[in-house]
């Protein structure tokens, strides 16, 4: 188990280095002089020179990468062009909001996804199965940013029940667990939950159908095991995989929240990323991408190790 975790970690390191390399290159694939893409247009000659030196733009690329990586490890992700504040500061404010949103969305998605998947798998090849499966096809096909808009139209514009944008009253971005704040969370969380729901439903359906068709379950039934006993058995056997899928989906939502956060002006990393793109704030863009991608890489690692702890058969070579 420990060896396996260590092996996975060693395997992840080159991937992490590669990911950081891609993030580093973002500044350089931006058209024009990289200096221009990390500087505000009205920068003074002094600042220009200072930035040029601190990024090492006059040095060869590998050395630039090394300087950048060293800075990143010291917590220096550069300075946002738009606000003039360190990227780290901007990120720190946003990341908590994204985690809250993604986590709640994943939980909702997991609950309904498991429910639909379970019912469909249990009643395989019946009308119920067809309906549940159709819902999951819809779940993976719907453009979620559009779904968000539709929900806003229904619940905010038409019915006026829930707020359309922001994370709290008066555009406050500091999260508190009270009803006025939770009201802001409902629509984006439901919208976001559609993505993991479809995928979890598909996974659980396949797992449940597979387990129920196995001979030993039929044997248990023949031995007079009650439906509740069979149910417990099925849950015990589907849980590790379903939880692993859920973990991966959480990582995916953390990284892919930009569209939904933009629709709802949810003050998280995705919204920040949208602003960075809009203002062509490349250092901010680079910092956010790096943090989110690393989050995803290490979350995958954790899920992998946990899953193999729950079920040693799934160790990947």
Per rule CB under 8 A, is residue 297 in the interface with another protein?
yes
**Which span (103-111, 170-178, 239-247, 284-292) binds another protein, by CB under 8 A?**
284-292
Q: Least separation, in Å, of the C-beta of 235 and another protein? A: 27
Per rule CB under 8 A, is residue 69 in the interface with another protein?
no
Provide the token pair at 39. Answer: 């500087």
Number of Cβ within 10 Å of residue 155's Cβ equals 17
Per rule CB under 8 A, is residue 6 in the interface with another protein?
yes
Comparison of 212 and 259: residue with beta carbon closer to another protein: 259
Comparison of 149 and 212: residue with beta carbon closer to another protein: 149
Per rule CB under 8 A, is residue 35 in the interface with another protein?
no
Beta strands in 113-187, from DSSP E residues, in sequence order? none
Number of Cβ within 10 Å of residue 230's Cβ equals 17
Per rule CB under 8 A, is residue 105 in the interface with another protein?
no
Number of Cβ within 10 Å of residue 121's Cβ equals 25
Which residues, other chains included, contact 273 with Cβ-Cβ below 8 Å and sequence gap of 6+? 258, 284, 285, 288, 289
Per rule CB under 8 A, is residue 161 in the interface with another protein?
no
Q: Least separation, in Å, of the C-beta of 61 and another protein? A: 16
Residue in 191, 203, 262, 307 binding another protein, rule: CB under 8 A: 262
Cα 244 from Cα 223, distance rounded (Å):
32
**Which span (55-63, 73-81, 93-101, 279-287) binds another protein, by CB under 8 A?**
279-287
Per rule CB under 8 A, is residue 137 in the interface with another protein?
yes
Cα 311 from Cα 249, distance rounded (Å):
19
Number of Cβ within 10 Å of residue 205's Cβ equals 25
Q: What is the DSSP string of 204-256?
A: HHHHHHHHHHSHHHHHHHHTT--HHHHHHHHHHHHHHHHHHHHHHHHHHHHHS
Cα 243 versus chain centre, distance: 15
Q: Least separation, in Å, of the C-beta of 317 and another protein? A: 9
Per rule CB under 8 A, is residue 146 in the interface with another protein?
yes
Cα 308 from Cα 68, distance rounded (Å):
35
DSSP 8-state assignment for residue 40: -
Comparison of 74 and 158: residue with beta carbon closer to another protein: 158
Residue span 117-136 as binding mask against another protein, x where in contact by CB under 8 A, dash where not: --------------------
Per rule CB under 8 A, is residue 243 in the interface with another protein?
no
Per rule CB under 8 A, is residue 280 in the interface with another protein?
yes
**Which span (94-102, 212-220, 222-230, 290-298) binds another protein, by CB under 8 A?**
290-298
Per rule CB under 8 A, is residue 204 in the interface with another protein?
no
């Amino acid at each position: 188990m420990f060896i396996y975790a260590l092996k996975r970690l060693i395997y992840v390191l080159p991937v992490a280095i590669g990911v950081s390399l891609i993030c580093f290159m973002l500044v350089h694939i931006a058209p024009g002089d990289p200096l221009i893409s990390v500087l505000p247009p009205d920068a003074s000659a002094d600042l220009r020179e200072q930035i040029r030196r601190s990024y090492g733009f006059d040095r060869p690329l590998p050395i630039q990468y090394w300087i950048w990586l060293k800075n990143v490890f010291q917590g220096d992700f550069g300075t946002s062009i738009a606000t003039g504040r360190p990227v780290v500061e901007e990120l720190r404010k946003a990341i908590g909001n994204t985690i809250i949103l993604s986590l709640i969305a994943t939980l909702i998605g997991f609950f309904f996804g498991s429910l639909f998947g379970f019912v469909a798998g249990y009643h395989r090849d019946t009308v119920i199965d067809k309906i549940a499966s159709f819902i999951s096809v819809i779940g993976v096909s719907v453009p979620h940013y559009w779904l968000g808009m539709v929900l806003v139209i229904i619940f905010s514009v038409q019915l006026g029940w829930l707020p359309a944008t922001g994370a709290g009253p008066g555009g406050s971005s500091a999260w508190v667990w009270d009803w006025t704040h939770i009201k802001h969370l409902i629509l984006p969380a439901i919208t976001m939950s559609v993505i993991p729901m479809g995928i979890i439903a598909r996974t659980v359906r396949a797992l449940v159908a597979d387990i129920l068709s196995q001979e030993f379950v039929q044997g248990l039934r023949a031995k007079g095991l009650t439906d509740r006993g069979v149910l417990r058995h099925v849950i015990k056997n589907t849980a590790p995989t379903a939880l692993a899928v859920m973990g991966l989906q959480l990582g995916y939502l953390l990284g892919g929240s930009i569209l939904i956060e933009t629709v709802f002006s949810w003050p998280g990393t995705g919204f920040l990323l949208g602003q960075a793109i809009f203002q062509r704030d490349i250092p901010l863009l680079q910092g956010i991408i790096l943090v989110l991608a690393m989050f995803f890489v290490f979350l995958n690692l954790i899920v992998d190790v946990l899953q193999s702890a729950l079920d040693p058969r799934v160790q990947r070579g």
